Amino acid sequence: MSTSVLLLATAAAAWQPKMAIVPRMLTNLRGQCLCSNEQQANEALFPESYDDAEKRGMELFQQGEFERAIRMFELAQTLPGAGIDFVREKQSGMIGSANAPPNPRGLRKDRFATPQQKLIARYNIACCAAAMGDTSRAMQILSEYTQQVRQPIDAVNEMLVDEDLVTLRSPLRELRDELKNQQAKEQKTLFGLSIRNPLREIAEQVGVEWKD
């Protein structure tokens, strides 16, 4: 065997591969990517508006995740919705930037869930409670619902044909009878005409309790 061949054999035996480090590095990077993807997925699922939370709540309801759906509908009431309010900033006349135009009046536009949106969310919570068999909670919410609409009896009639409230039809009929009796007591007859106190109607519209 020649001297050159011996030298090559010795060098080959002395050389040790260092590729074992690469899989560990790839594993770490892969773990970081997985964590990043999970974080992005969680952020994508977290609703940023009333509409997003309502949509997510509906999906959870269809999946039978009623408790999670209730939490989502409760969250929806606290998120930006169709309501718009302008709030004056502490420093008016702020200078505009590349992303924001000048605001000479120093006003900030805030969005919030309207009373109607909150009412819808409460109705959806009642549907979840009914699906869970919690009749007491569902009826309490629906009773409060009828007190915040202009035509409570019509609202109950719509509830009676709602497939999500089919288990509540008996107590809903009782609620409708109570509302009819209450309406009959509130009406007063004058020369055969049924009239209502206009001040009472105004008080009901603004949510103020009226006492005779």
Paired tokens of 93: 């006349």
19 secondary structure, DSSP code? T
CA 144 – CA 141 distance, rounded (Å): 5
For residue 143, give the nearest of 156, 127, 130 by alpha carbon: 156
- Main-chain dihedrals φ then ψ at residue 25, nearest 5 degrees: -65, -40
- pLDDT block averages, 10 residues each, the chain of length 212: 46 44 40 48 72 96 97 96 81 53 68 94 98 97 95 96 97 96 74 60 64 56
Q: What digits encode the pLDDT tens for the residues 143-192? A: 999 999 999 999 999 999 999 999 999 999 999 999 999 888 877 554 45
- Helices (H), strands (E): how many in the chain? 9, 4
